[in-house]
Amino acid sequence: MALTFERSWSDEDLERYRASVARFIETEMLPEDAAARARGHVGHAIWRRSGALGFLCADIPERYGGGGGDFRHEAVFYEEMARRGLTGMSTSVHAIVAHYFLNHGTEAQKERWLPQLARGERVGAIAMTEPGAGSDLQGVATRAERRGEHYVVNGSKTFITNGFLAGVVLVVAKTDPAQGARGTSILIVDTDDCPGFRVGRVLDKIGMKAQDTSELFFDDVRVPAANLLGGVEGQGFFQLMGDLPYERLIIGVAALAGMEGAYAATLDYVRERRAFGKPIAEFQNTRFRLAEVATQIMVGRAFIDRCVERLVAGTLDTATASMAKLWASEAQGRVLDELLQLHGGYGYMNEYLIARMYADARVQRIYGGTNEIMKEVIARSL
């Protein structure tokens, strides 16, 4: 019997949901991926279509327009994209933005923004990183100064996922620079008709070519005071910390599904490709490599599945979620390197899934907090 990687957290309903997600991705996303990679973004239409089909904000309550499910529904979407090497549409950052609203927003903010995010009418982005501040977010220099009923925002952000298509950006800014972390707040910036807001370049990356990672500039942008997330100044850092387990587990989930997709594609490849009169799948080296990869996936699945269950139960702590991000993204890098090797020269060609996955995977060790920062967080909990 062929090896399968079953999820301990799945059930019949979720597998039915997975089948409809997979159908949508196969028929509507995958055929557009090459064009999106060439263009540098996926465009708005696929976001609206995903929203119309109920695939966005799957774990947001129905009263705010969401799907009323839980993290497992979100995970299904990340997995089905990741195993096909689709990285253009960051529904994960979109979901993280929705969770900031859900967990920290005022009732009015939830009612206004969540339904638009769920419908895909607005794409969500979160802007923390600046040219001078990445891992050390206390160094954020973007300033939001209160003037009457507005904040005036000045600064620049970089590496912002979904930045080019974003309709709402959560901007991390200093409302009181003298207070350090306690002087940091999150401002909700509506990018429609927003004088002083400018999207810079869609950045030229080594992978994730369809992802509109961008620079954002704020030049005397007037943000209504009602758009302070949660309505209280100085809460930014606490709000950022609160959602870390959710954010980090997403990276772990996608890493493992990416490994599974790459493994399946490689199995097909080595059974077809011949050398020295036989399929390369028959060389002992190939079989041993694949056996090692399958073992890593199986071991990883046990840990990631446990983390998914704990997140759904509300008991996943930041250190364990950081382990999931750290371990899975490191394993993904190692595994993709091995699997690419089994493709020979074709593995280096962008028309092959394994080549795109290899380039796309590299950033998993960098964003969402670098893996060095993950080790710091884990070490602090020891």
Ligand X SMILES: Cc1cc2nc3c(=O)[nH]c(=O)nc-3n(C[C@H](O)[C@H](O)[C@H](O)COP(=O)(O)OP(=O)(O)OC[C@H]3O[C@@H](n4cnc5c(N)ncnc54)[C@H](O)[C@@H]3O)c2cc1C
Residues near ligand X (CB under 6 A) are 93, 126-129, 134-135, 159-161, 205, 208, 213, 363, 366-367, 369-370, 372-373, 376
Query: What six digits make up the tokens of 192?
Result: 């429609």
- Alpha carbon 154 to its chain centroid, in Å, reads 26
- Catalytic member of 80, 247, 260, 330: 247
Query: What six digits make up the tokens of 343?
Result: 């493709």
Bridge partners of 218? 155, 197
Query: What six digits make up the tokens of 357?
Result: 């996955």
Query: What six digits make up the tokens of 332?
Result: 């993904």
DSSP 3-state assignment of 207? coil
Query: What six digits make up the tokens of 236?
Result: 């930014």
Per-residue buried b or exposed e for 4-29, using 16+ beta carbons within 10 Å of the residue's own CB: ebebebbeeebeebbeebbebbeeeb
Per the listing, tokens 């694949």 go with 290
Specify whether 32 is catalytic: no
Bridge partners of 216? 157, 199
Query: What six digits make up the tokens of 321?
Result: 């979620």
Helix axis angle, 353-361 relative to 318-342, nearest 10°? 140
Active site residues: 247
